[in-house]
Amino acid sequence: MLGEAETMSITTINMMPRVGFIFCFIAQFLLANANIDALFSEYDYPNVPGAGVAVISDGKIIYERGYGLADIGLKIPSTVYTNYRMASLSKQFTAMAILQLIDAGKLHFDDRLTELFPEYPSYGTAIRIRQLLGHLGGLNDYEDLIPSSQTKQLTDHDVFQLYLKHPSYMFSAGERYHYSNGGFVLLGLIVEKISGRNFEDYMKTEIFDRLGMVNSQLMTDPRPMAHRAYGYTQQGESFQKTDQSLTSGTRGDGCVYTSVHEWVYWEKALRESSLIKPELQQLAFTPGKLNNGSSTSYGFGWMLGTYQGLTRQYHTGSTIGFRTAVERIPAKKLAVVVFINRANASPSEKARRIVDMYAGAM
């Protein structure tokens, strides 16, 4: 029989591989954290537009930090609570609102655009809700329809009127994929019509408030808000405020403001399907289908691909003065968000590099 000392020695030896694994795991994470700071060194100054970064593992934030300034004029630092304009990352929130209405039986994937808006041009008869969600509607880019004399910021209703005045289209619905901001503007109007509520109010009460995203909101003008970042563009050695454009007032395609800290609540809702049924949530991450049966690389508000053979769900956002990106690797339970309030930036490249830093340790 073994003595007590001998038993303890064997136990210690058996634990050594596990202790070594944990030590290596922690070391990898510490190294990754240091590498993120190095990756964002150009933003880590007290006089430049900044960035917000968060790394989420299994629904918990394992790294978050703000760099630089949210407001250069007032010298307000960027923190993890700073609200950035999401640009096209907003589309996944609009898609969620549509899926909620479908979940409630108030809307259906095969509802036609002209059933919802009888005044819409006749080509809308062939456009269904699912095609708008997947950028398969064939709509003209509304940006190309804006008159050269336009000086006032457009609203969603202005975009709708542009489509009424220009009753043409790029291709028949479902024939091919073409990324469409206009399609998501129309989806925002559909949420408003079917719910009978202002789109901003719907998003606040049915998504943000339900998830605890208390400082997140839709905002269509440059008015002050809590923890707000302003957009900038580098011109020579200085940064000029470029916060609003003609298209900054449209809602369904890009005017959600949120922070890297509150994104964890959104990520948790996606993982747990807490806002809609799991089968509907999964459809958001399912490639669209063209009329000929071939698949696209877009779901409902999400770009789809692979990372080292694993499913990758991601999106980017770009608007005057802001660049944003999110990367999700579900098999690793990993999500990375990067928000930047300057036009001269590549958050998607940085987000992918951060995924590389952490994915190997998971």
pLDDT score, position 220: 83
Is residue 254 pLDDT above 70, yes or no? yes
pLDDT score, position 12: 45
Model confidence, pTM:
0.91
Give 16's pLDDT tier (boundaries 50, 70, 90). very low
| pLDDT > 90: percent of the chain | 86
CATH superfamily entry for domain 40-359: DD-peptidase/beta-lactamase superfamily (3.40.710.10)
**In angstroms, how far apart are the furthest CA atoms of the chain?**
94
pLDDT score, position 8: 43
pLDDT score, position 198: 96
State CA 320 to chain mean position distance.
16
Q: Which comes out higher in pLDDT, residue 34 or 234?
A: 234
